[in-house]
Amino acid sequence: MRVAWEIVKSLGLRTRGVTVVACPTCGRLDVDNFVEIVTEIERRLAHVEEPLHLSIMGCAVNGPGEAHDSQLGITFGRGVGMIFKDGVPMRKVAGDDIVEAFVKETEKLLADGASAKPALPPLDLESQLVSIK
């Protein structure tokens, strides 16, 4: 059933629940347990029915750009994750604490009534890249 929902969501036919865009990983990955982190965040947010667009990127190369199109995003640096909200850097979190922090931020977003995608600010990749180093 979950796979069927993911298919209709990816085709844009229905919206329900969390859509997580995660990078495919490559040699630039800045975190060891990336797949486990993504899997755990998806598991912790599986109960959410409101449509939310989240991104989880393994390094600063594409992370800030992908976060720009997400309501919440994570971009990893070495030993640290930067949480973005609506494409704007919010706060750094130690790598070990990232799942808990990201789930809490998502729950806060839901408590604030988020479900529709808000307007996004202009993209400023250069300053975002510098801010997570």
**Where do contacts with ligand SF4 occur on this chain (CB under 6 A)?**
23-26, 28-29, 57-59, 61-63
**Cβ–Cβ contacts within 10 Å for residue 39, how many?**
14
Quick one: 17 or 58, whose CB is closer to ligand SF4?
Answer: 58
| C-alpha torsion sign, points 35, 38, 43, 49 | negative
Distance of closest approach, residue 74 Cβ to ligand SF4, in angstroms: 11
Long-range contact pairs involving 12-17 (C-beta distance under 8 Å, separation at least 24): 15/51, 16/49, 16/51, 17/45, 17/46, 17/48, 17/49, 17/50, 17/51, 17/52
Distance of closest approach, residue 70 Cβ to ligand SF4, in angstroms: 13
Quick one: 17 or 63, whose CB is closer to ligand SF4?
Answer: 63
Position closest to ligand SF4 via CB? 23
Round to whole Å and give the CA distance between 133 and 123.
18
Quick one: 14 or 28, whose CB is closer to ligand SF4?
Answer: 28
Distance of closest approach, residue 24 Cβ to ligand SF4, in angstroms: 5
| Helix (H), strand (E) at residue 16 | none
Distance of closest approach, residue 116 Cβ to ligand SF4, in angstroms: 26
Quick one: 12 or 24, whose CB is closer to ligand SF4?
Answer: 24
